[in-house]
Amino acid sequence: MPSADLEGRLFIDGEFREAKSGKRYDILNPATDQVVAQAADAGPEDVDDAVTAARRAFDDTDWGTDHKFRRHCLEQFQAAMREEAAEFSDILTAESGVPKGIHSTHVDFMIDGMDFWNELTTSFEWERELGPNTVLGMVSDRTVRYQPYGVVGAITPWNAPFMTAIWKVTHAMSTGNTVVLKSAPDTPLTAAKMAQIAAEKTDIPAGVFNTLSSADKGIVGDAMTADPRIDLFHFTGSPGVGQRIMERAANGIRKVVLELGGKSANIILPDADLDQACGMATMMCMTSSGQGCALGTRAIVHADVYDDVVARLQAIIGMIPWGDPTDPGTIVGPIIRQEQLVRMEGLVARAREAGARILVGGERGEVNGKANWYKPTLIVDVAPDAEIAQTEVFGPVLSVIRYEGDDDEAVRIANNTRYGLSSYIQSSDEDRARRVANKLRAGTVNIGASFYLGADSPFGGWGISGLGVEHGIEGFREYLQVKTISTPGK
């Protein structure tokens, strides 16, 4: 478990400090309800200080133009985080309940992925020549130049605090921006640990990286979006909050990049290898305790294989290990807080009332007297328009929808949602699967035993699942403004 002296203060302008109000709040372990640590409870005055520091670091230093120095700092940051990976793993489980068994993806894989961003810091084509062009009787040479926006306001969720923080922080810094990182109220310790590493083990200048924590979901976020000195907002979370950020960022016409969750479909075509298809359907719904935005939470299954698929899913999901998140064998850990459990219970109860059948789970689980789990749940005979098929549950709940028509019918059902983050297709015919993939309204499509995730692979949503992308060259460019410079032709 994490050490007792975990850092929980704000990190502003290169220094750790308490909130100006002096307030702190408890960070609870979702598995035990025990206090893990305390965090500083920031207010608008602390936001002002953090943005002031980030603004100064961008405007008054060469951080945005010295690509070699930035790469040096980021490589230091990566090496130090790699050394502290075990500590990050302990913090992740303690504050968010993410099971230890998947930390290789949440922590190690993400640290390794920094290679891509470190390399881009110096290899990216920051300027390119277009060559001469004649217009209005003048010959002009033109240069396209990429420059950072300035100050990035990054806001992360509780379900994957290390993963989303490292994405936003390294994306912002590698492109030459400075960053103010606001963590979710439940999970500020990961960001504080990152700040501690940046302060003690890197040459990152003061003000380039700042962190904020707050017990209230909205106070600090609203103060950030109200501050015109923040040039770009990068948010992962719910569509409702994303829309609010976008509305507030419209004041000043500031850029937003939003990743806002999903209700991803997993289409099981009648020619699928059912052993593989059902294994993937289970894994890509239940991993991370079902608390993942891109997970396949709707299985859309052809009538020819429906009964067989349901029987297989019932057997597999009934055996999924749930419980202690520190046990490497656990797949489903605790849910972050009681309000999420209550919400889940309501969704499942209403699905049953609407005519769906609950074959596995459908209730809370208790460990050591704490009913902080929701058992892996299988709901079948779900109507395509049902609430449970349209709403992001954000828990270990798989809904199964039956269809009888051709592949276009499966596509129609899959696209029958306002979300469009990810999707899955199970078929033994890759060409057929690709034809279906091309028709799906989703930012990523995963065929068979594959998954898109990688630092070089763009990730973003369609519909209410978001705006813009993370990762890849495309994600790098999200943090850059484009400027064209014209000079007299030679």
Alpha helices in 259-383 (DSSP H): 274-286, 303-317, 338-353
Co-location of 247 and 272 in the same domain: no
> Cα 103 from chain centroid?
15
pLDDT for the residue numbered 4: 52
* CA 1 – CA 194 distance, rounded (Å): 17
Co-location of 272 and 253 in the same domain: no
- The CA–CA distances, whole Å, from 68 to 63, 72, 172, 174 equal 10, 6, 15, 10
Domain assignment present for residue 4? The answer is no
Cβ neighbours, 10 Å, residue 136: 5
CB neighbour list of residue 65: distance below 8 Å, 6 or more residues apart: 176
Domain assignment present for residue 360? The answer is yes
The two three-digit tokens of residue 192, written as one number? 């504080």
**Terminal Cα-to-Cα distance of the chain (whole angstroms):** 66
Cβ atoms of 161 and 187 closer than 8 Å: yes
Cβ neighbours, 10 Å, residue 239: 19
Per the DSSP assignment, residues forming a β-bridge with 169 are none
Co-location of 251 and 309 in the same domain: no
- The CA–CA distances, whole Å, from 178 to 18, 49, 116, 133 equal 21, 14, 19, 36
Nearest Cα to Cα of residue 131 among 141, 118, 146, 121: 141
Nearest Cα to Cα of residue 94 among 185, 187, 170: 187
* CATH number for the domain harbouring residue 436: 3.40.309.10
Domain assignment present for residue 98? The answer is yes
CB neighbour list of residue 423: distance below 8 Å, 6 or more residues apart: 264, 265, 266, 267, 296, 414, 437, 440, 442, 444, 445, 446
Domain assignment present for residue 107? The answer is yes
Query: Across 221-330, where does the E strand assignment appear?
Result: 232-236, 255-259, 264-268, 296-302
Co-location of 173 and 305 in the same domain: no
Nearest Cα to Cα of residue 271 among 33, 101, 448, 449: 448
The tally of domains found in the chain comes to 2
Co-location of 99 and 124 in the same domain: yes
Cβ atoms of 350 and 387 closer than 8 Å: yes
pLDDT for the residue numbered 490: 81
Q: Indicate which residue of 259, 392, 470, 478 is catalytic.
A: 259
Nearest Cα to Cα of residue 155 among 78, 228, 212: 212
* CA 421 – CA 177 distance, rounded (Å): 27
* CATH number for the domain harbouring residue 59: 3.40.605.10
Cβ neighbours, 10 Å, residue 384: 17
pLDDT for the residue numbered 217: 84
Co-location of 299 and 427 in the same domain: yes
pLDDT for the residue numbered 84: 96
Domain housing 317: 265-447
Co-location of 350 and 401 in the same domain: yes
* CA 127 – CA 43 distance, rounded (Å): 40
pLDDT tens, N- to C-terminus, the chain (490 residues): 444 579 999 999 999 999 999 999 999 999 999 999 999 999 999 999 999 999 999 999 999 999 999 999 999 999 999 999 999 999 999 999 999 999 999 999 999 999 999 999 999 999 999 999 999 999 999 999 999 999 999 999 999 999 999 999 999 999 999 999 999 999 999 999 999 999 999 999 999 999 999 999 899 999 999 999 999 999 999 999 999 999 999 999 999 999 999 999 999 999 999 999 999 999 999 999 999 999 999 999 999 999 999 999 999 999 999 999 999 999 999 999 999 999 999 999 999 999 999 999 999 999 999 999 999 999 999 999 999 999 999 999 999 999 999 999 999 999 999 999 999 999 999 999 999 999 999 999 999 999 999 999 999 999 999 999 999 999 999 999 999 999 999 8
Co-location of 239 and 312 in the same domain: no
259 is catalytic: yes
pTM above 0.85, yes or no: yes
Co-location of 190 and 311 in the same domain: no
Domain assignment present for residue 453? The answer is no
pLDDT for the residue numbered 1: 47
Co-location of 277 and 174 in the same domain: no
Counting Cα atoms < 13 Å in the Cβ hemisphere of 113 gives 24
Domain assignment present for residue 456? The answer is no
Co-location of 245 and 279 in the same domain: no
Task: Please provide the DSSP assignment of 37-56 as one string.
Answer: EEEE---HHHHHHHHHHHHH
* 3-class secondary-structure state, position 402: strand
pLDDT for the residue numbered 430: 95
Domain assignment present for residue 273? The answer is yes
> Cα 15 from chain centroid?
27
Domain assignment present for residue 470? The answer is yes
Co-location of 274 and 252 in the same domain: no
Strand 151-155 relative to strand 296-302: parallel, antiparallel, unpaired?
unpaired
Count the residues in the chain. 490
